[in-house]
């Protein structure tokens, strides 16, 4: 049996402080950059590298495009390929709705029972696609820009 190490999200305030320190930028700009990571440690590293490599102190459209491509190729592709068809369908349906959509709305759209939906929801939380700390009865994506990535997969 394979055990998975679950790593909690990083604190966005700490991420912003690190970006502020490294790039000598304002608190506001550092927080804008940190918000692109959703607290995902790998995203924090990639975005910091891209800013440093491009000698930028803000997230430009070109950096954002490259950032999203790297996340997809080096992380999200692997997550996506390990999901079952029904898990993909649940994720894809959630991606088609606004952030923090109610579970009830998604279940009705998918015509799933509460038990059936919660099985897929739990797996998507364990795989890091859905946030496990969403408000009760709500679904939210955990990883930055993964909703957009999922929309492009179907």
Indicate if 92 and 63 belong to the same structural domain: no
Number of domains in the chain: 2
Contacts of residue 11, Cβ cutoff 8 Å, sequence gap at least 6: 39
Task: Look up the domain containing 104 and give its range.
Answer: 84-153
Q: Which helix or strand (DSSP H or E) is residue 63 part of? A: helix 61-71
- How far is 126 from 46, CA to CA, in rounded Å? 23
pLDDT tens readout for residues 42-61: 999 999 999 999 999 999 99
Last residue of a domain, one of 27, 54, 80: 80
Output 132 or 13, whichever has higher pLDDT.
Answer: 13
pLDDT of 4? 54
Indicate if 109 and 138 belong to the same structural domain: yes
pLDDT of 1? 52
Tokens of residue 132, six digits = 């496990």
Last residue of a domain, one of 80, 109, 135: 80
**Distance set, CA 66 to CA 12, 44, 54, 56, 59 (Å):** 21, 14, 11, 14, 11
pTM of the model: 0.86
pLDDT tens readout for residues 132-153: 776 788 999 999 999 999 999 9
pLDDT tens readout for residues 72-124: 999 999 999 999 999 999 999 999 999 889 999 999 999 999 999 999 999 99
């Amino acid at each position: 049996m394979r055990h998975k190490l679950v790593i909690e999200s990083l604190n966005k305030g700490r991420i912003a402080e690190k970006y502020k320190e490294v790039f000598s930028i304002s608190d506001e700009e550092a927080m804008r950059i940190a918000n692109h990571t959703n607290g995902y440690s790998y995203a924090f590293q990639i975005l910091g590298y891209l800013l440093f490599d491009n000698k930028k102190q803000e997230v430009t459209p070109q950096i954002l495009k490259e950032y999203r491509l790297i996340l997809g190729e080096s992380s999200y592709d692997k997550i996506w390929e390990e999901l079952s068809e029904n898990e993909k369908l649940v994720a894809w349906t959630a991606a088609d709705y606004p952030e923090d959509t109610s579970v009830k709305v998604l279940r009705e759209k998918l015509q799933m029972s509460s038990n059936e939906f919660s099985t897929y929801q739990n797996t998507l939380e364990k795989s890091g696609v859905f946030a496990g700390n969403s408000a009760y009865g709500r679904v939210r994506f955990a990883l930055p820009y993964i909703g957009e990535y999922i929309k492009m997969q179907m």
